[in-house]
Each structure stands twice: as structure tokens, then as C-alpha cells.
Amino acid sequence: MIDNYPDTFVAVEYHTAYGPETPFGDTRIAYYGITGTPGAWFDGGIECSGAYTDYNQQYNWYHSQYTSRASQDADVTIAMFAYETSAQTYEIEATFCVEPSASTKTMVINMVQVLDHWPTTISFPRNTVRQGVNKGTITLGPGECETLTHAFTLTAESWTAKEDTKMVVWAQETGSAPAWVYQAAQVAWPFEPPPASGDFDADGFVGLADYEVFYDCMAGPEEDPVPTGTTADDCLRVFDFDEDEDVDAQDALSFMSVFTGSPPYIITHPGHQLDIPEGGTATFVVVAGGSAPLSYQWEKGAYPLEGATEYELIIEDVTPADAGWYRCIVTNALGEANSNSGMLTVAE
């Protein structure tokens, strides 16, 4: 099945006879309470324990479980890369996202390095885990993403058989087994870094925060970049669009082509308008930043004010009925920002 469905079937294999070299595997075997072999779990929630004497029957059994899950849509996505950071050491970078239409997910994240066709002393060894790590839990709301990384130094067996080496990650529901796997992903040798994206903070869009880091990287990471601790390799990985080992003016053209700007943010909140005389004028002003065009909608309490769609709200001929709390909601294509509320009181 690994060979027949290379793009949709992600498999890892644990063995019970290789001792301290596979502590992660021992942990997973204990998690599922596996006492006999073979034992298989599809998507973390469908158990297939035991074996047929006929290999075709075994395959058909497994295949039926795979197809029952493959037909279901997943609402978690994983974008994954692995790239070299030093001799024989490769970093996994995986971005986990929850679809906008999905519910909030709390997920356990696991990352492993596997070696296919190992060990050679047993029958049908596939994607055997050589090392792994539990990265803990993340919670993502609809439309949210988070990027996690981990570096593995390849074992001697893996380095000798690099063409059989893979990195695998998966996101699984919390709790005791059985626990459904929301999504899994893998990359095989040769590992390549992701193309330059410009999204330094990995928040899903190239905004003002990325813009600031980009120009720090052009000046050189030794020039106290934002955020502190950014290295030359970090700069090249995210901003070297033309792959010439330098972040320069040519990359600036590419960066601006993917720059999506910034969601709104409030610079100056509306102030209070206190003791305005009846018949007088009250003025609320909000100053906002973010990518144009910005739209404004003033509210009194929780109710939108008809026609109040400018950065300035002017209330003429004030009456006692105008007293209350006013705020402005600023929006653009990337999101919205709510100002603090300003109070209007009318002098008696």
C-alpha cells in the first residue's frame, strides 16, 4: 500500500526487539497497548490485530480500512519540509492549519525519522521509526495555523541508506488510545528546503512584521535584526527568492510581489467626550493603520450607527439620548480591529 498510494498513505512501523535505539517506538507501542504482532492502527482509531496466512487476504483487509478513511475529508492540513542544517542533521518544518469551516482543534503533534526496508532481518520492514519526538499539543481555531520544527541527526543506518530515509509528522487528537489522526504528512530523500516565501513569522500571510525582518536581513543579520537572534541562514531560507545566497535588491522585487500587507490595527483610540452641553457637538476620532483600503463602522453600545463610516464621528445637536459608549470597528481584506470605547456624557 505504501507503493500503491505514495501520496495519500502515510505509514510508520515500530518493532519491539530493538531496545533503546527506538524509545519513541516503545512509547507508542505502550500507548496502544500492543502485546502481539502484527498489530496495525489505521488513522489511529481502527485496529487490525493479527495476520492471515494468505498475504492477499492481509492486504485486502488493510486496504478496506484505508479506503474507508481515505474517502473522508480532513479539516486539518499540514505543509511540510525538511532541510539540512549541519552535517547529517535535518530540520523538519511543518505548518499545521485548521480549515476556516472547521471547529477548534487541540492536537498532539508527533515527528519521526523513518528508514524504509530496515531492518533486513525481518519480513516486510517498511518505514521503521529510527527516532521520534512528541512535540506536545497545539490548539488552533478555524482558519488558524502554527509552525513547529525539530531537527534529527540521521543514524548510521539511515545515512548509509539515505534514499530510504523519510521524515513523517502527524496531528492526533488528545487522550488515550484509540485516538484519531486528523492529518499526516511525509517527505522523502532528498530533503530540500521550502522555497522562499517571505512569511518569516509563518502566520499565513506576508505582512508588516515580515517586511521589517526582510529589510533587516538586507542590511545583514548582524545589524540587530527583528526578531533578535535571526541568523543569516534564517534570512536566506525565507527571503532569498533568487537563490543567489544573498538577500538583496533583486529579492526585494520578489518580496513585494508576495507582500499582502497588514490587517488593521488601532493607533489612537477615541477619547471620552464628557459634559458636552445639550445642543453642542461631540467628536470621536480613531486613527488606524493597516493595508488600504480601510473601512470604518462606528457603533453605540453593540449597535452600528447608520452612515457612520468615516474615521471621525461627529454628533451635532447633542441631546441626552446621545449619551453612551461609542467605538469604531476598522476592517480591510485581511481582518478587523476594534477600538476601545469612548464615553459621551451630556451636561445637565
Average pLDDT of the chain is 90
49 and 180 share one domain: yes
- The answer to whether residues 246 and 237 touch, using CB atoms and an 8 Å cutoff, is no
pLDDT at 71: 85
Residues 104 and 223 in one domain: no
| Tens digit of each residue's pLDDT (9 = 90 or more) over 132-175 | 999 999 999 998 888 899 999 998 889 999 999 999 999 999 99
- Least Cα distance to 324 among 313, 338, 335 occurs for 313
* Same-domain status, 28 and 177: yes
User: Residue 153 sits in a domain of what CATH number?
Assistant: 2.60.40.10
Bridge partners, residue 80, by sequence: 94
Q: What is the mean pLDDT of residues 213-229?
A: 73
**What is the C-alpha separation between 80 and 167, in angstroms, rounded?**
9
Cβ–Cβ under 8 Å, residues 118 and 164: yes
Same domain, 330 and 251: no
For residue 260, the model assigns a pLDDT of 78
Q: Which has the closest alpha carbon to 335: 265, 263, 266, 267?
A: 263
> Residue 286 pLDDT > 70, yes or no?
yes
- Domain identity same for 23 and 84: yes
For residues 170 and 246, membership in a common domain is answered with no
pLDDT at residue 19 tops 80: no
Is-above-0.75 flag for pTM? no
Q: Which H, E and C letters describe 217-254, residue by residue?
A: HHHCCCCCCCCCCCCHHHHHHHHCCCCCCCCCHHHHHH
For residue 268, the one-letter residue type is T
Same domain, 168 and 307: no
Q: Is residue 201 part of a domain?
A: no
Looking at the structure, do residues 296 and 175 belong to the same domain, yes or no?
A: no
Confidence of residue 223 (pLDDT cuts 50, 70, 90): low
Instruction: Tell whether 90 and 229 lie within a shared domain.
Output: no
The boundaries of the domain holding residue 288 are: 265-346
Residue 130: left (phi > 0), alpha (psi -120 to 50), or beta?
alpha
Same domain assignment for residues 104 and 167? yes
